[in-house]
Structure 1
Amino acid sequence: MPLAFAVALAVLLKHFLGSLAWAALLAVITWPLHERLLKRGWSRAASAATLLAAIIVSFVAPTIFLFNTLSHEVATVERLLGQFNNTGLPAPEWLARLPVVAKPAMEWWQTHLAVPGGLNTFLQGVAGGLLPHLTSTVGKLGPTILANALYLFLSLLTLFVLYLEGPAVVTYVDHAGQRLIPKYYGVLRRLLPLSVRGTALGLCSVAVLEGIVLGIAYAIAGAPAPAILGVITGYLALIPGGAPLSFTSVSLLLLGQGHAGAALGLFSWGAFELFLVDKFVRPKLIGHRVNLPFLAVLFGLLGGVSTLGVLGLFIGPFMMAVLFWWLRGGKADAVHEIAVPDKGDKQAA
């Protein structure tokens, strides 16, 4: 009966399980901070509002800054395109050095882009061909953005309620867990915050590291505004595939400016640094909290991301921690063999 009810409840809330999961993860990650504020005499409402505002600002402020920067860059590009359209866009030197296709490529460029007004004609033709696809994409994108905005609002609202009613929620969850899985609930309750906070620590530490290291690499390679690009890279590194997208885009920008050597060097360094970070640094940081082997963390991260997306980054290591608890004896006191608590965890326990 309880299992059937749980399945029915999951089906009922299937569109909102992601929002609930994100709220729960953020609550687990930030709960030690909430406890510290409460011990300093803050009310639950004040602590909840402060932490929620900090979370919103930490993600919204960089987004506004990024869009503001991009708006200036777009205006610069528009001016350059207008200038090239009036005077004609000269063919780049590397085009004449291409093997086999150099001659026809140069002839096409001189006919279509090197003449005044040619760039405008070319862009209109490309836009006309892409317009049906863009219209279809925008038509699908609008409802998706609204749905994601609703899910984000529900996640933040749920997180605020969890801050306010934390003890009551913990009591309900404890009663449910002890009734459904009395033998294993204590272990799961101990491992979940450790693995989730370890994953969050690993992700944030790696994001900061990649933002600094690649920002320095951008400066050495001669990329424009390396500090801004480093900050953008750091935030993109929080999501899977964000860092390679960032340094690949900067490499293509340098290549388009004619700096082929710098572009190749930056891309090679970014790929090497990403390999080291993703295969060694990140698993080590995440596995330290729950004393997991390197391969266990690595496969937990890769399997979680490939199956569940970003949420899998947290669920994968947690499931690996449960697996190794079972392999190490599966006893209630065996959790101490794989858990490495710190002060924050003791306060939240």
Structure 2
Amino acid sequence: MDAPKTEVTRTLLAVITIAFLIFASLWVLQPFIGGLIWATMVVVATWPLMIGLQKRLWGRRSLATAVMVGVLLLVLFVPLTIAITTVVTNANKVAELVPRLQDATVPAPPAWLATVPLVGEKLSATWQGITESGIAPILATIKPYAGTALKWTASHAGSLGLVVIQFLLTVAIAGILYSTGEQAARGVRGFARRLAGDQGDRVVILAGQAIRGVAMGIVVTALVQSTLGGLGLLICGVPFAGLLTAVMFMCCLAQIGPILVLAPAVGWLYWTGDTTWGTVLLVWTLVVGSLDNILRPWLIKKGADLPLLLIFAGVIGGLFAFGLVGLFIGPVVLAVTYTLLDAWIGDAWPAKDEI
């Protein structure tokens, strides 16, 4: 009678010990978890590119890793540093500009605006209302939010520097993962097989495909839209084009789109009387704003053989639940859950003629 009790006690103590070790390990690694998650997502998404680069560099993994790390620094660190510096440097200028806008006048809307299908008349009427009443009511509405944003920028200038350090840590971990990617992949797939056999291995592979699909669909589309939108701002002479491009990129990642930045820029050009460039930027805004409807679904479906609605739900839900990194975590969680449910139901799916 004592043997079963002893076995239960031993099992319970083993579980408690393992749980304590996991908790202690996560506690120790807490400063690196964010960078590790980001680096894993980046490496998984760009792994085929790194392998192709390695083949072109005489099979040298070290050279391919150095090139990929350099590209990550250019793509992540340099734009982030420029954006943070621009925000901190121009915060006072923006604060001084707002009071002067109260006395500004807005020209009448162009005649062709009312002829735009569906929304032309409404846009023309709204513009005409702003022309008659001025922009003081609009400034009064946004003033509390602008003040809050400027206070937040000033108070978080130091923490923004920590974000730069976090990105450098992410790039360093990504370099390690590029060098030892196969070994890390074998460890993850071995752990998954230990948990769920061949099905667990399939889930890991599908999770990697989901990460690549999201990276291709969301990030590449955001880069294309923000780059094209930034070029439009620069060519049309809109001030703070670099800062607005960074904001546009974040809006595209958050699935808001570039219109939130480009539309006010178009209004500013018309307000300053530069109607020619305002019209050019308006047409360019319509082109750039509609790119995601074509480019994003095609890239996501090409990268991951999963329902498109599942991917979008994971992107939006993950963004709200986990922040920016949730863009990748959300679709991976839903993809794993979908795959496990599909395997668990298996042959229990009813036939089409039974529905």
Output the TM-score relative to the length of structure 2. 0.62
Q: Within 5 Å, which residues of 2 pair with 1:133-148?
A: 138=154, 140-148=155-163
Q: Kindly report the root-mean-square deviation, in angstroms, between the aligned alpha carbons of the 2 structures.
A: 4.8
Give the match's secondary structure for 1:329.
Answer: helix
Deviations 1:17-75 (A, max 9, x none): 2111011111112222322333342433222111100121234555677799999xx8x
Distance 1:133 1:234 in 2: 17
Distance 2:198 2:171 in 1: 33
User: Contact 1:177–1:185 (CA<8 Å) still a contact in 2?
Assistant: yes
Distance 2:82 2:166 in 1: 23
Distance 2:335 2:313 in 1: 12
Q: What is the letter of the counterpart of residue 62 of structure 2?
A: A
Q: What is the letter of the counterpart of residue 29 of structure 1?
A: A
Q: What is the aligned partner in structure 1 of residue 315 from structure 2?
A: 301
Q: What is the letter of the counterpart of residue 237 of structure 2?
A: P
Q: What is the aligned partner in structure 1 of residue 70 from structure 2?
A: 53
Describe the shift of the 1:255–1:306 C-alpha distance in structure 2 as closer, same or farther (beyond 3 A).
farther
Describe the shift of the 1:216–1:59 C-alpha distance in structure 2 as closer, same or farther (beyond 3 A).
closer
Describe the shift of the 1:321–1:69 C-alpha distance in structure 2 as closer, same or farther (beyond 3 A).
closer
Decide which of 2, 14, 26 is 2:42's aligned counterpart: 26
Give the match's secondary structure for 1:292.
Answer: coil
Q: Within 5 Å, which residues of 2 pair with 1:8-47?
A: 8-39=24-55, 40-47=57-64
Deviations 1:87-113 (A, max 9, x none): xx9863659x8689859x8xxxxxxxx
Describe the shift of the 1:180–1:143 C-alpha distance in structure 2 as closer, same or farther (beyond 3 A).
farther
Decide which of 247, 250, 256 is 2:265's aligned counterpart: 250
Output the TM-score relative to the length of structure 1. 0.63
Give the match's secondary structure for 1:310.
Answer: coil
Q: What is the aligned partner in structure 1 of residue 172 from structure 2?
A: 157
Per-residue deviation, 1:201: 1.2
Q: What is the letter of the counterpart of residue 317 of structure 2?
A: G
Q: What is the letter of the counterpart of residue 49 of structure 1?
A: A
Describe the shift of the 1:183–1:263 C-alpha distance in structure 2 as closer, same or farther (beyond 3 A).
same
User: Contact 1:195–1:318 (CA<8 Å) still a contact in 2?
Assistant: yes
Q: Within 5 Å, which residues of 2 pair with 1:278-297?
A: 281-297=295-311
Distance 2:151 2:130 in 1: 38
Distance 1:137 1:30 in 2: 33
User: Contact 2:226–2:252 (CA<8 Å) still a contact in 1?
Assistant: no
Deviations 1:294-333 (A, max 9, x none): 322221221111111221221222233223323433499x
Describe the shift of the 1:246–1:326 C-alpha distance in structure 2 as closer, same or farther (beyond 3 A).
same
Distance 1:183 1:42 in 2: 31
Report how many aligned residue pairs link the two structures. Answer: 291
Per-residue deviation, 1:180: 4.0
- Residue range with higher mean Cα deviation, 173-182 or 229-238: 229-238
User: Contact 1:214–1:247 (CA<8 Å) still a contact in 2?
Assistant: yes
Distance 2:309 2:199 in 1: 25
Distance 1:152 1:68 in 2: 15
Decide which of 317, 329, 342 is 1:315's aligned counterpart: 329
Q: Mind listing any 5+ residue stretches in structure 1 that lack a counterpart? A: 106-125, 333-349
Q: What is the aligned partner in structure 2 of residue 329 from structure 1?
A: 343
Give the match's secondary structure for 1:92.
Answer: coil
Q: Within 5 Å, which residues of 2 pair with 1:84-99?
A: 92=105, 94=107
User: Contact 2:42–2:174 (CA<8 Å) still a contact in 1?
Assistant: yes
Q: What is the aligned partner in structure 2 of residue 168 from structure 1?
A: 183
Q: What is the letter of the counterpart of residue 175 of structure 2?
A: F
User: What's the % identity of the aligned pairs?
Assistant: 22
